[in-house]
Copies of this chain bind each other. A is one copy, B any other.
Amino acid sequence: MADNVWPNYARSSKGVILDMCGVLYDSGEGDGVAIPGSVEAVKKLKASDLKLRFCTNETQASREKFVAKLQRLGFDISVAEVFSPAPAAVAVLRKRGLRPHLLVYDGLLPEFDSVDKSDPNCVVIGDAAQKFSYENLNEAFRVLIGLEKPLLFSLGKGKYYKETDGLKLDVGVYMKALEYACDVEAEVIGKPSAQFFQSVLDDMALQSHEVVMIGDDLVNDVGGAQQCGMKGVQVRTGKYRCHPSGAHFWGVCQRDDMRTVTRTSLRKFPLFTHLALGLRGNQNTNKCTSK
């Protein structure tokens, strides 16, 4: 990665979008755990003149409950600053007059309270975790295959995420399963959908080239942001692993560790000094072994 990517970031950046799981905290039993240094990093960003938003594909709880959990972990975060797929899905369903069969975590159901779910004409799946039983997936499949034109929405397309006890399969894996079973391509709501990122940029009142997205997922965070014209930074926390096709993501800050990033670049991009320092904790939990 050429160093000359960084100075351009700093000169033009007016805002930061932060992924949450794997960047600010690792999920797991109870509330999970804050990643060392991340609470302070958010504080420093809020004290700066950068606009800040949080963008998550978290779909195991309503935004209210999710934000309350982050607050208990020590983060200064409000519901209005957090963008997640469920409210975006509800807007799409309403606009297109669709009645979903839901395969989501129980905690997310309240987000869909206002939506007509009778006689379903589409399927919506989120990160249902243990609810992804054979029976439940088969039920969603039967709804889809019974439709004249199967219509599948997936709240994200992540492959896996890290919990405190190890990696866990994410919704994208089950999206692929249903896509194959029914010969359909799902409509993804959430990262890395360009429409989803644009809604965050609209809320910030910034242009894409003025904003940096920071996440632990090369495809959904960094790649998705780049597709919209933002710059992407990948932190080596959370589920970070070497991505076999990482070379395709141009302009990604990928270094051996955050210590290297901050040491070599401090003078070049002062705006990111605080953030980079703040997010150093817990680095290399999934060490890159391929190079």
Residue with the highest number of chain B CB atoms closer than 10 Å, among A135, A177, A289 = A177
- Which residues of B are found within 8 Å of A174, using beta-carbon distances? 177
Question: Shortest CB–CB separation between residue A130 and chain B, in angstroms?
Answer: 5
Residue with the highest number of chain B CB atoms closer than 10 Å, among A131, A133, A148, A169 = A169
- Which residues of B are found within 8 Å of A145, using beta-carbon distances? 160, 167
Question: Shortest CB–CB separation between residue A143 and chain B, in angstroms?
Answer: 11
Question: Shortest CB–CB separation between residue A4 and chain B, in angstroms?
Answer: 30
- Which residues of B are found within 8 Å of A148, using beta-carbon distances? 289
Question: Shortest CB–CB separation between residue A144 and chain B, in angstroms?
Answer: 11
Question: Shortest CB–CB separation between residue A99 and chain B, in angstroms?
Answer: 21
Q: Does the CB pair B244–A183 fall under 8 Å?
A: yes
Question: Shortest CB–CB separation between residue A56 and chain B, in angstroms?
Answer: 20
Q: Does the CB pair B133–A169 fall under 8 Å?
A: no
- Which residues of B are found within 8 Å of A244, using beta-carbon distances? 183
In the complex, A183→B219 CA distance in Å?
Answer: 13
Question: Shortest CB–CB separation between residue A188 and chain B, in angstroms?
Answer: 13
Q: Does the CB pair B181–A166 fall under 8 Å?
A: no
In the assembled complex, A159 has its CB within 8 A of some CB on chain B: yes
Q: Does the CB pair A141–B129 fall under 8 Å?
A: no
Q: How would residues 119 to 149 of chain A score, 1 for a CB under 8 Å from any chain B CB and 0 otherwise?
A: 0000000001111111101100110010010
In the complex, A16→B134 CA distance in Å?
Answer: 35
Question: Shortest CB–CB separation between residue A163 and chain B, in angstroms?
Answer: 10
Q: Does the CB pair B183–A169 fall under 8 Å?
A: no
Name 20 extra pairs, CB < 8 A, besides A138-B168, A169-B181. A130-B134, A133-B133, A133-B134, A137-B173, A138-B169, A141-B167, A141-B169, A141-B173, A142-B167, A145-B167, A159-B180, A159-B181, A160-B181, A169-B177, A172-B180, A173-B181, A176-B176, A176-B179, A176-B180, A177-B177
- 19 A-B residue contacts at CB 8 Å? A128-B134, A129-B134, A130-B133, A130-B135, A131-B134, A132-B134, A133-B133, A137-B173, A138-B168, A141-B167, A141-B173, A148-B289, A159-B180, A173-B178, A173-B180, A176-B176, A176-B179, A177-B177, A183-B245
